[in-house]
Structures are given as structure tokens and as C-alpha cells.
Amino acid sequence: MNRILITGALGQLGIEFIKYFTKSNIFVLATDIRECKNEIPCEFIQCDVLEKNKLNQLVKSYKIDTIFHLVAMLSAKAEKHPFKSWKLNIDSFQNIIEVCVDNEIKKVFWPSSIAVFGTDSKLGCVPQNPILNPSSIYGITKLAGEKLLEYSNKKFNIDIRSIRYPGIISMSTKPGGGTTDYVIEMMDSAINKSKYVCFLSKNTELPMMYIDDAVSSAIQLMRADKSKLSVKDSYNVAGFSITPEILKKQILKNGFKIDVEFKPDFRQEIANTWPKKIDDSKAKLDWGWSAQIGFEETVKKSLKF
Ligand SMILES: NC(=O)c1ccc[n+]([C@@H]2O[C@H](COP(=O)([O-])OP(=O)(O)OC[C@H]3O[C@@H](n4cnc5c(N)ncnc54)[C@H](O)[C@@H]3O)[C@@H](O)[C@H]2O)c1
């Protein structure tokens, strides 16, 4: 991991990976379909990840050796645009794999999601290898992606590694259209003293993770000894699990006033097929994973943002 290309670099995760790598003096070429309006501490090139030739050129001219492929249409947005999300999430991943094969790039990080599970997955606390029966189009693309990576690693002798992220909490970028976005939105409303209408019911329990743990889990996995990795598709990782009501109470505990109305919409249906808790014992055993930041600290850090 010396010269890294990040796709979807201006999104919630991308911005944080840029900060991490540049602080560690690792070369980063950030790419995104959007124009970069703020200053970022690395090279940036506007590029649609569906343009394979352009990606190929960039990889060659910048001598890239590792790709963090972060482009995806997230769950709630994808449900509104199922065909576009299939095309973006799947075709972009195929492009990255082809670019890797053409340029002999071995190392790739590609995030999967807790959307990959489904109602048959023992949602109370999902194990590493449950029955996977996602019903959202986003979850279906993540399951297809997991299978594509497993196939490609074997077929082309590459080393794509993956994590099934829970909802990621960070305040430095706007959330990208996911089913766990309510966490960031509610804290944002508390900071801005505005009323919040929550799109999930107050007792919907979902797994979450603070951004610092999301970044360090990926780095730890990418640096792990390959011989220790027993999971061939994507690793479960856990932070903590909360409901909207628990979040509201924690915001109040921190001295903020917040008026929340619970008005579930179509995203409730997606959340009902997602896990409450995650069993990440395989990640702990194989590469020493352990979340460092709990719920209370996450809320404190986020409200101070
Ligand atoms: N954020 C979460 O809570 C979460 C949870 C689980 C998994 N993930 C996964 O992590 C990855 C990153 O998520 P995120 O939250 O940073 O997403 P995001 O929506 O914040 O960022 C995605 C970025 O991709 C860019 N993009 C969209 N179409 C593009 C295209 N055709 N070419 C180039 N760039 C394009 C967007 O402009 C955006 O900046 C995704 O694969 C997502 O599925 C995220």
C-alpha cells in the first residue's frame, strides 16, 4: 500500500481515508464524479468510475499499487433508482477488477454492508456465515459484489479484501443516502437547534460504528497477513447497536435540546431486514479486530464537531 487510488473519494468514507493516508505520508490519487470544491491534501482528478479507459490511464500514469473502491449508491437512494444502482455498484466493481487484471494490481479494498443479510440471517446477532437473503437492491448488489470478489480473487489471483460495514457515523460530510443516516441527521438537528423528523420508528435497533473505527478496521484488514484470513467473502465487524430513542436520550444527556418526531417511511422496511447486532468474532480471531470507540464517546465527539 504505497500508491493508492481512491474512487468515490469525496464521500463519507473517502474523505477520512484521504486524511489517514496523507498523514501517514502515503501517496493518494483521489477521484470522484463530483468536482472537488474544498481543498484536500492530495491529488484529485474528476473521473466517472464507469469510464474504464480513463481509470486505466490514471492507474498507469500514477503507478498505482492499491485501490480503495468506495463508489456505491447507498441503500435508501438505491431503492429509488434500482437499475441505476445495480449498474453503478456492479459495473464499477467489474471495471476495478478489470483494471487490476490489466495492470497487475493485487491489493483492493471494497466495502460490503450489513445490507447483505436478510430476514433469514438470524438478525438478533448475525454470525459470519448465515443464510444471506437480502431484499433491498443495495443488499443484492453487495451480495453479488461479495461473490464477484471471491470469484475474482481465485480466478485472477488478486487480493480484494472486504468488510461488511454497519452504519458509519461521521459529521464531516453529508450522509450519502443510507438507512442509518438518521443518526447524523438527528445530531445535526441538535447542533442546529431544529426539530427532527426521524424516518425510522423509535425502537428500530441497528448496528453502527464511529468513523475512526471504520477507517482503522479497513487498514488493519489490508495489512493483515493473508494466510490468517479465513473468510473469503467479507468480514463482519461490529461497533455498537442503538435505536433512535436511545440516541435521542444520549443527545439530551449531553445537554442539547432536541425535539424528535418519529415518522417511519420506506426506509423502515429496509431497516426491518437488517441485523440488530453483529457477531464479529472471526475478524477478532483472524486479524485482531476490536472496536475502540463506543456509543457514548461517538455521540460526545459528534456533538462537539
Ligand atoms: N456510510 C455508511 O454508513 C456505509 C455503510 C456500509 C457500507 N458502506 C459502503 O462504503 C462505501 C463508501 O460509502 P460512503 O458512505 O462513503 O458513500 P458516499 O455516498 O458518501 O460516497 C460515495 C461517493 O461516490 C461518488 N460517486 C458516485 N457515482 C460515481 C461515479 N460514477 N464515479 C465516481 N464517483 C462516483 C459520489 O460522488 C460520492 O462522493 C460504499 O461502498 C458503501 O456501500 C457505507
Residue 138 annotated to the active site: yes
- Residue 145 Cβ inside 6 Å of ligand 1? The answer reads no
Residue 18 lies in a domain: yes
Tens of pLDDT, residues 111-153: 999 999 999 999 999 999 999 999 999 999 999 999 999 999 9
**Angle, vertex CA 90, rays to CA 85 and CA 91, nearest 5:** 100
- CATH number for the domain harbouring residue 39: 3.40.50.720
Q: Are residues 123 and 190 in the same domain?
A: no
Q: Are residues 180 and 42 in the same domain?
A: no
Q: Name the domain boundary from 105, 132, 165.
A: 165
- Residue 244 Cβ inside 6 Å of ligand 1? The answer reads no
- Residue 98 Cβ inside 6 Å of ligand 1? The answer reads no
Ligand 1 atom closest to residue 114's alpha carbon, by position in its atom list: 6
Question: Cell numbers at residue 66, please?
Answer: 492499491
Domain total for the chain? 2
Q: Which is the catalytic residue, given 62, 138, 165, 196?
A: 138
Question: Cell numbers at residue 82, please?
Answer: 434500482
Residue 117 lies in a domain: yes
Residue 141 lies in a domain: yes
Give the range of the structural domain holding residue 98, as residue numbers without chain letter: 3-165
pLDDT interval class at 10 (50, 70, 90) = very high
Q: Name the domain boundary from 131, 149, 165.
A: 165
- Residues 29, 197: Cα–Cα separation, whole Å: 38
Ligand 1 atom closest to residue 10's alpha carbon, by position in its atom list: 39
Q: Are residues 181 and 199 in the same domain?
A: yes
pLDDT interval class at 48 (50, 70, 90) = very high
Question: Cell numbers at residue 152, please?
Answer: 475474482
Ligand 1 atom closest to residue 34's alpha carbon, by position in its atom list: 37
Q: Is the pTM of this model over 0.85?
A: yes
Nearest to 291 by CA among 244, 251, 241: 241
Q: Are residues 147 and 181 in the same domain?
A: no
- Residues 117, 142: Cα–Cα separation, whole Å: 10
